[in-house]
Structure 1
Amino acid sequence: MVKGLMALGMVAASLGMAQGNISGEITVWSWDIAAKALQATVPSFNKKYPNVKVNVVDLGNQQVYDKGLSGCAAGGADLPDVYSVENNEAEVFWARFPGCFTDLNTLAPSANAFKGNFPAFKWTELQVGNKIYAIPWDSGPVVMFYRRDLYQQAGVNPETIETWDDYIAAGKKIVAATGAKVGVIANGQDDEWFRMLANQNGCFYFSNDAKSVTVNKPGCVSALETVKKLIDSGVVMQGGWNEQIQAFKAGKVATAMFGGWYEGTIRSNAPELEGKWGVFRMPASKKGGVRAANLGGSALALPASSKNKAAAWAFIRHALATTEGQVTMLKEFGLVPSYLPALKDPYVSAPSKYWGGQAVWKTILDTLGQVPQARGTQYFQEARQIVIKAQADYVAGRVKSAKEALDSAARQISAATGLPVAK
């Protein structure tokens, strides 16, 4: 026992020395709520590492991705010390620029030491063989964020909504009673709704082994048909990210379907609506179907060109691999933890005043185990642009069926990537 205590004391002492020896300045690139969340972890990080200055820079999502690609293409020039990357885009970097980011298993402690503290599926797109290039950050279990007051005004109980047909029927009642739509679908800008619906149907652009194109499989066809049905029924708006925020602040939209991280977007942009929001599970394609999907989820990587890897690695570990870091980001900005020990924190099961007393995080996190797997691959962006065009053509009536639109998309994705269309 004494030897054990002595050993623990030596570890603590060496850790303290290591923390004291880490100093300097690091730059972190991120976007929107994610950047604010990382900034929120800096005070607790600096209690451990007082000699490190952390500069969190909000470049915007697309800028981070674009500047990451150009920086890697230039041999790591002008990249930050800590780089935010979405999971479904991560394989683009590892495949095309294998030397651009640090294998975190070469650092101390190695990334392998943390693997058991995250869900296995979160590592799929972050490692190549025995190399780990990023640590999982958040996940995006999809739910429906809804305005309690507008639903009540229309006499709609969200607990009665089980399928997308139910949702459309409820949406018509809400539009008639309040004028508010029940969702915002991107118009030629993104295919987020398609991806969420396809994921719940067990379908995605590519197979889970990343060896074939599967976007024209039945689950994806059904998803695209539902997107058009929603638009044609008049219950949803069409617009982009900013339009959605403006609409829910103005009471013009009664529901937002997004990953759980959108909780922070609503709460931070509309504090005046406290108590008027609630959450329910996304509708299924059919009765008894899956009512879960994932949208988003990011990771933090360490560019190989960083001049202060020790401080960058310490910051990544503090933000993502401690309950303190993860729960701080959950409390302040609604980023859903991937770090499993953080899910045991009392805050996760506590009722939320903003959400009308609902234990909103329990509702959100209870869906995680039902989310079907999906793989972005290194070709995610190419496929996404092709599917956005296919969706726009089908919704506008330029293509007569969802199957025809997605068959065409599958052929184009195959030609662009060299992967065969699945039989």
Structure 2
Amino acid sequence: MNKMILLSALTLLTTAAAQTSAAPRNLSGTVTVWSWDVAAKALQSTVPGFNKLYPNVKVEVVDLGNQNVYDRGLAGCAAGGADLPDVYSIENNEAEVFWARFPDCFTDLNTLGADKLAGNFPAFKWTELTANNKRYAMPWDSGPVVIFYRRDLYQQAGINPAAIRTWDDFLAAGRKLNTKFGGKVKMATIANGQDDEWFRMLANQNGCFYFNTAATQVTIAQPGCVTALSTIKKLNDAGVLATGDWGGQITNIKASKAASAIYGAWYEGTIRTNAPDQKGKWGVYLMPASRAGGPRAANLGGSALALPASSKNKAAAFAFMGYALGTSQGQVAMLRGEGLVPSLLSATKDPYVAQGQAYWGGQKVWQTILGTLGDVPQARGTQYFQDARQIMIVVQADYLKGKYKTAQEALNDAAKKIGSATGLAVAK
């Protein structure tokens, strides 16, 4: 491969000059990108800006659907890279399945200069994209966790969101809500029995996860995770939460039966598009801490872009990845159009981020949301993420039903089951 072309692509990522008309234009050919749904639309929105720099590169974004991208990626890697695109979209929590099973299927982006870009993104975004000192993908969107809340419902119940600093404050606010609305409006909805996302968010906030960051031990029974599960039980027992799956949560929002939602910031678009008639009624505040003065940041979800080793146009593919993910223009275009939350730290300083958003009552929600990026603890899903998640979904539901006496007992059982399923040692 022409090293000068690769150097030009790297220059796009690392210098301001690469974002002007002086950027190198000597790349050509077609770059095929696999993605899904809103993510595909977001990537498509960056193509016009990229083509101002590289007019001779044709970018084809193909929307295959989330599961199809994953399945075809596994099949392509199993076939030695056959029929894979030039750029491959991958969710962070599924990424390590590929690195573990097919370490040669994707290009080590360090060979193209990605190691020089590490500091441009928060450390937690690289954790699951790096294996054996190789960077297999570049950080894309992230999911900094916040509380989305209905201004009008809070006000009617006499709740001041600025006064909610801990989960105990959140619980107290929920009791006020129950009193005001006779229990017909809940503080939030939890997908208990369907997912363990609340547990993952609160555990991450407390510096704990299924596994340690070295991916060598099961750490789900450690103190931070115990605190997370205990908090969920306390909220559930107080009757301030509704229960519902993904669709049920949206239904509660549309019907004004939930006054809040805790999710990764990508949920902003979910609320805005599903409840357009509630424009101006919503706001955002930081997730509560487990203790006074404790951390109020976590991450849920997020994706990355990888470059298959079988690509015939790596220089152009890397240049596109660099523009879409490594420049404020690319990242903010996706934020504006589809609500994909940037991982690029410099994007937090873009003027758009400081603008009030009409749907959110004029609040500068992106400033609040992106301001937490640097505080998110690292977490490692490993190739066993789905195994651990399925076990924890059952354990959480059983604990909330009273099967276990304490959160520690529940998580000790979860750790034992995860260790058995993965072969990893359980941390003492």
Same fold (TM over 0.5): yes
User: 1:12, 1:349 → 2: CA distance?
Assistant: 23
Residue from 95, 100, 103 that aligns with 1:90: 95
User: 1:150, 1:229 → 2: CA distance?
Assistant: 22
Corresponding residue number in structure 2 for 1:275: 280
Match status 1:18 vs 2:18: no
1:187-213 deviations in Å (ceiling 9; x for gaps):
322111001111112211112222211
Residue from 263, 266, 288 that aligns with 2:268: 263
Residue from 188, 212, 217 that aligns with 1:183: 188
Q: Secondary structure at the match of 1:145?
A: strand
Corresponding residue number in structure 2 for 1:4: none
Residues 8-407 of structure 1: pairs in structure 2 closer than 5 A: 16-19=24-27, 22-30=28-36, 32-107=37-112, 110-178=113-181, 179-407=184-412
User: 2:174, 2:62 → 1: CA distance?
Assistant: 39
Farther off after superposition, 144-153 or 88-97: 88-97
User: 2:393, 2:318 → 1: CA distance?
Assistant: 37
Letter aligned with residue 67 of structure 1: R
TM-superposed deviation, 1:158: 0.9
Q: Rate the CA distance shift 1:12–1:338 in 2: closer, same or farther, 3 A.
A: closer
Q: Secondary structure at the match of 2:311?
A: coil
Q: Rate the CA distance shift 1:61–1:236 in 2: closer, same or farther, 3 A.
A: farther
Matched residue pairs, number? 411
1:106-134 deviations in Å (ceiling 9; x for gaps):
44xx3234333222332222223442211
TM-superposed deviation, 1:414: 1.3
TM-superposed deviation, 1:151: 0.9
Q: Rate the CA distance shift 1:287–1:106 in 2: closer, same or farther, 3 A.
A: closer
Residue from 399, 414, 419 that aligns with 2:424: 419
Q: Secondary structure at the match of 1:361?
A: helix
Letter aligned with residue 105 of structure 1: N
Q: Secondary structure at the match of 1:80?
A: coil
User: 2:411, 2:78 → 1: CA distance?
Assistant: 32
TM-superposed deviation, 1:345: 1.1
Q: Secondary structure at the match of 2:330?
A: helix
Q: Rate the CA distance shift 1:395–1:61 in 2: closer, same or farther, 3 A.
A: farther
| Cα contact 1:117–1:341 (8 A) shared by 2 | yes
TM-superposed deviation, 1:298: 1.6
| Cα contact 1:276–1:356 (8 A) shared by 2 | yes
Q: Rate the CA distance shift 1:41–1:413 in 2: closer, same or farther, 3 A.
A: same
User: 2:224, 2:204 → 1: CA distance?
Assistant: 8
Letter aligned with residue 86 of structure 1: E
Q: Secondary structure at the match of 1:140?
A: strand
CA RMSD for the aligned pairs?
2.6
Gaps in structure 2 of 5+ consecutive residues: 1-15
1:267-293 deviations in Å (ceiling 9; x for gaps):
233333221111111112222222221
Q: Rate the CA distance shift 1:293–1:17 in 2: closer, same or farther, 3 A.
A: closer
Letter aligned with residue 123 of structure 1: W
TM-superposed deviation, 1:333: 2.4
User: 1:294, 1:148 → 2: CA distance?
Assistant: 24
| Cα contact 2:109–2:134 (8 A) shared by 1 | yes
Farther off after superposition, 196-205 or 375-384: 375-384
Q: Secondary structure at the match of 2:34?
A: strand
Letter aligned with residue 124 of structure 2: F
| Cα contact 2:186–2:240 (8 A) shared by 1 | yes
| Cα contact 2:25–2:53 (8 A) shared by 1 | no
Percent identity reads 67
Gaps in structure 1 of 5+ consecutive residues: 1-7
TM-superposed deviation, 1:148: 0.6
Letter aligned with residue 38 of structure 2: I
Q: Secondary structure at the match of 2:334?
A: helix
| Cα contact 1:184–1:237 (8 A) shared by 2 | yes
TM-superposed deviation, 1:304: 2.2
Letter aligned with residue 351 of structure 1: G
TM-superposed deviation, 1:26: 1.1
Letter aligned with residue 192 of structure 2: N
User: 2:324, 2:18 → 1: CA distance?
Assistant: 25
User: 1:170, 1:358 → 2: CA distance?
Assistant: 21
TM-superposed deviation, 1:10: 13
Corresponding residue number in structure 1 for 2:5: none
TM-superposed deviation, 1:361: 1.5
Farther off after superposition, 148-157 or 246-255: 246-255
Q: Secondary structure at the match of 2:232?
A: helix
Letter aligned with residue 23 of structure 1: G
Letter aligned with residue 37 of structure 1: A
| Cα contact 1:141–1:365 (8 A) shared by 2 | yes
Q: Rate the CA distance shift 1:364–1:11 in 2: closer, same or farther, 3 A.
A: closer
